[in-house]
Amino acid sequence: MRRVAVIGIGITKFGEHWDKSLRDLALEAGIKAITDAKIEGEKIEAGYLGNMAAGNFAMQEHLGALLADQMGLNPIPAVKIEAACASGAVAFRQAYLAVKSGMYDIVVAGGVEKMTDLDTETVSKILSAAGDQEWEAFQGATFPSLYALMMRAYMQKYGASQEDFAHVAVKNHKHASMVEYAQFRNVITVEDVMNSKYVAEPIKVLDSSPITDGAAAVVLASMDVAYSYTSNPIEVIASAQASDTLSLADREELYYTKASEIAAKQAYKQANITASQIDIAEVHDAFTIGEVLAIEALGFFKKGEGYKAAVEGQTTFGGKVVVNTSGGLKAAGHPVGATGIKQIYEIVTQLRGKAGKRQVPNALYGLTHNVGGSGATAVVHIFSKV
Catalytic residue annotation: 85, 334
The DSSP symbol for 11 reads E
Query: Is the separation of the CB atoms in 150 and 260 below 8 Å?
Result: no
The DSSP symbol for 104 reads -
Provide φ and ψ at 304, rounded to 5°: 90, 0
Dihedral-angle region of residue 223 (phi above 0 means left; psi in -120 to 50 means alpha; beta otherwise):
alpha
> Among 287, 300, 250, 280, which Cα is nearest to 348's?
280
Kindly give, in sequence order, each residue whose CB lies less than 8 Å from that of residue 334, ignoring residues fewer than 6 positions away: 85, 209, 210, 211, 212, 286
Whether cis (ω within 30° of 0) applies to the bond prior to 202 is yes
Kindly give, in sequence order, each residue whose CB lies less than 8 Å from that of residue 22, ignoring residues fewer than 6 positions away: 54, 57, 58, 60, 63, 112, 113, 114
- Counting beta carbons within 10 angstroms of the beta carbon of residue 255, is it exposed (0 to 12), middle (13 to 18) or buried (19 or more)? buried
Provide φ and ψ at 342, rounded to 5°: -60, -40
* CB burial readout 301-326, b (16+ within 10 A) else e: bebbbbbebbbeebbbeeebbbbbbb
Q: Tell me the three state secondary structure of residue 366.
A: strand
